[in-house]
Amino acid sequence: MAVVLLFLSGHVLSQKGKEVILGLGGAFTNVWIVNQSFYGEPEVDYAPKTGFAFGASLGYAFTEQIAAVVEIQYSGQGQKYEGKQAFSGYNFAKVERNIKLSYLNIPLFFKYTFGAGGTRFRLMGGPQLGLLMGAKQDYVRDGETIGTERINLDGQKFFTDAEDIKDRFESTDFGIALDVGADIYLSKKFYINAGIRGNYGFTDINAPAYQIDAPNEEYEPSHNFWGGAYVGINYLLDVEGYKQRSF
């Protein structure tokens, strides 16, 4: 991250007539964990879960159409489940599980804009690094936390419905982020960007010790996914003057 920022800031000082892009923004999202993991207990139906993301960005416009933008973004992710569950003498009529994951996401976007006038359309895409900050769950069955116990692949006992579950997830998630939208200029220096954004994690987010087979099924890797509406405000800093300075 530091290397990327230094590259961008150092490069803009050597250019003439280019612009640094400074921004703030956020997204309202629909979040999923593709392929659930119940640590050997019967799986439960997926339920919708909303999330959010907000952060700051730093970019550099190489030309009027081409730019690179790096973001530092806090993101609330996870998955909800609701349904019935029966195993080992248990028969639950109502199961609710809410996994709450917190990530510091760092996407590096390559941006292409086109169009004329006060509104310019944009396409952005690039790699993303996700750093896990926290992982908790609310896991209740018929209104109670039951405390069912399992053994992970390292031979350690654990409670499937414990609240703090950060150790059950990988600390990093590598993926791809995409964005389609428009830049709406309020003046020569300020513009609002709005669009549809999504990202998908290629990493299996479950830690190796918790990659446990589901009942009568082989284990499948779990992946983060979210998509939603993003809105931000940006300021263009003309750095041509720096070229003329002597230090």
Q: What is the pLDDT of residues 35-86, one digit of tens each?
A: 999 999 999 999 999 999 999 999 999 988 999 999 999 999 999 999 999 9
Amino acid present at 54 = F
- In CATH, the number for domain 2-14+34-244 is 2.40.160.20
User: Would you list the DSSP string of 67-121?
Assistant: EEEEEEEEEEEEEEEEEEEEETTEEEEEEEEEEEEEEEEEEEEEEEEE--TTEEE
Q: What is the pLDDT of residues 3-14, one digit of tens each?
A: 444 344 444 333
pLDDT value, residue 91: 95
Q: Taking a C-beta distance cutoff of 8 angstroms, is the pair 236, 21 a contact?
A: yes
Contacts of 247 (CB under 8 A, 6+ apart): none
Residue in 120, 131, 219 with CA at minimum distance from that of residue 169: 131
The whole-angstrom distance between residue 41's C-alpha and the CA centroid of its chain comes to: 27
C-alpha span between 20 and 9 (Å, rounded): 8
C-alpha span between 241 and 124 (Å, rounded): 28
Q: What is the pLDDT of residues 97-143, one digit of tens each?
A: 999 999 999 999 999 999 888 899 999 999 999 999 999 999 999 99
Amino acid present at 126 = G
Q: Taking a C-beta distance cutoff of 8 angstroms, is the pair 86, 79 a contact?
A: no
C-alpha span between 29 and 77 (Å, rounded): 9
Parallel/antiparallel/unpaired status of strands 223-238 and 190-201: antiparallel
The pTM for the full model equals 0.87
Mean pLDDT of the chain: 90
Residue in 46, 19, 37, 31 with CA at minimum distance from that of residue 105: 31
Kindly report the number of other CB atoms within 10 A of residue 133's CB atom: 14
Q: What is the pLDDT of residues 149-167, one digit of tens each?
A: 999 999 999 999 999 999 9
Domain range list for the chain = 2-14+34-244
CA angle 228-47-94, nearest 5°? 160
Amino acid present at 119 = T
Amino acid present at 144 = E
